[in-house]
Structures are given as structure tokens and as C-alpha cells.
Amino acid sequence: MSTPHFSVEPNPRLAVKARHADDDVLVVEKPAHMPTQPGLGHERDTLLNALFATHGRLLQNLGADRDYGLLHRLDLETSGLLIVALRPRAYDALRADFAARRVAKFYWAVVAHAPSRPEGVIRKPLLEAPGRGLRKVSKISASGKPAVTAYRVLSRSDLGAVLECRPVTGRLHQVRVHLASVGSAIAGDDIYGDAQDRAVSKRLALHAHRVTFTHPVTGEALDVRSAWPRDLRSVLTRLRLPRPDLTPAEVADAAAQSKQHAKRPKPAAALDDSDDSLDAVDGLEELQRDAISEQEARLRGADPSTDD
């Protein structure tokens, strides 16, 4: 049996976790620093290369006109959930849902400076502009496209805060620019943050943790979530902030386990700033309370857009 020719080179060495999978739709978790799709200098190390290794025939059948199944994108430095269609009818239905703002995306962000208000809606138009090298950036401009981001503060300390954000529109770097515009640049942001913001985290502390949408074939309401990323746990520890994917009782239990663990001598090879017993939190049914529910009701009429 001959090897099929694919427009995107499959790379089975790339590991990508699927948080939901069926015959028509995938919801996958992109690691930080992995590009979403191939481009200059990134021909084999992207999310799409990984997906072609497992679903190449289906994605090739969708073709470039349907973005090989990709319905939205994440910045290079951002981790988290992405929806991928596997069949034409699923792609077309989901693309229509994205355009009509029927797909909701939620992000966790760590900031060194909490916003002055505990929750709010940022409405500032964004314009894409040339950045350093080949990178594009966004800036707030009256001539830009409408952009709307809802946010709420989940927890705070004297050193920082954890926010949950919902970008209602999908402009380039939208959450990053909007938070920076209210004095709350995301930790580790090397474009829109200052030196203090960059010093808080080794990478951009932004994670797309939840997507809600209607299954394009079955009509089932899907609510897919992921856990707080392992590589950002130490950031929360330094800022004395709890993990947002744990209930207060689980936070207290984790703290107790951490204290007991710290009392036991460990060989150097076993030192780690995380606890393996906390990995199985992906399926928590309650994440404190439903994200920005009051904001969602007010924002359903926002303008259509394309990608994050």
C-alpha cells in the first residue's frame, strides 16, 4: 500500500493530547512554544504536523480551503485547547458557529498587577501592525477592528493575580493587548509587558483552558476543559496564588500534602516543584463557578471574527 502524499508533512514524534475525540471533531491541547501551523522556520514542528501523523487522510481531504480542519489558532507562546474538524460538514458547521459567536473560549492568565476592577469588559479596537522581524503585533487604534474581552479576577495576592478571560472577538494577541491596556500585562509577555512582567514567568502565562460549543453533527452541548499547565505551577507558587482548576478543599489538601512531602528527605533526582498526584484534575465537574456567566449574556451580540 503506497504512502499518501500530504500537503503537510506528518511528524509522529510530536506528542499532542486530545481532550475530546470522535469521528467528526477533535479538541486538542497545544503545548506552549509549539506553532499551530507550518510557516517560515517551522515546517515540521507544529500542531498540524502532529495531527497529520494521526489524522492525515481526513485533514488532507479537508484541504487548504478549509485550513486542514483548523478552526482557530493560538499564539506560539500560548498553551491550551484548540478545536479541529475532521470532516467537511463538521468544519462548515463549526465555522458558521465561530462567525456567529456561538463558540466560547476561556483563558487563564497570570498577571503581576491585578486590574483595578474585579471583573469587567474591555472594548478597544485593535489594529495589526508590523513588529520586530517578521512578527506582527496588535495595537489599540480607532481605525482597528472591534475587539471585546470579558475578564474576572479569580484570585489575588500581594504579588499578583489569576484572571479568567473570554475573548468575544478573535483579534491577534487580543487578550494580551487588552490586559496590558488596563495595566495588567500577562506575566512573561515579551511584547506587551515591561521588565517586571517578563521577570515573573519564563514563558507567557496564558492558557486556553476551556471551550464550549455545540457538536456540529450530534447537536450535543460540549464543554471541554484542561488542567493548569505543569510548567506554570511554579509561577503560582512564587506569587502565592492557588491553582484555578482546584476547589478550595482541593487547594487545602494539596497544600497539606506539599508540607508533608517537604518534611521527607528526597534524593536530588526526585526534586520537583509539582506533585504527580494532582495530574488527574482534567475532568473536574465544578471549577469554582461557571466562567463569566453574567458577562456572556451581555456579549452575545458582538461582531463576528476569525482567529485568536
Catalytic positions are 75
Extract the runs of DSSP E, i.e. beta strands, from 143-290. Answer: 148-156, 161-167, 206-214, 221-225
DSSP string, 122-150: EE--EEEEE-STT-EEEEE-TTSB--EEE
**DSSP element (H, E) containing 47:** helix 47-62
Residue 203 C-alpha cell reads as: 514563558
| Cβ pair 33, 47 in contact under 8 A | no
Using the 8-state DSSP alphabet, how is residue 43 labeled?
S
Distance, CA of 49 to CA of 251 (rounded, Å): 37
Residue 41 C-alpha cell reads as: 522556520
Using the 8-state DSSP alphabet, how is residue 186 labeled?
B
Chain Cα centroid distance, residue 79? 5
Hey, what amino acid is at 284? L
3-state SS class at 268: helix
Distance, CA of 207 to CA of 165 (rounded, Å): 10
Residue 92 C-alpha cell reads as: 462548515
CA 57 to each of CA 47, 259, 307: distance values in angstroms, whole numbers, following the listed order: 16, 50, 24
Strands 25-30 and 79-85: antiparallel
Long-range contacts, 126-133 (Cβ 8 Å, 24+): 126/171, 126/172, 126/173, 126/174, 126/177, 128/171, 128/172, 131/191
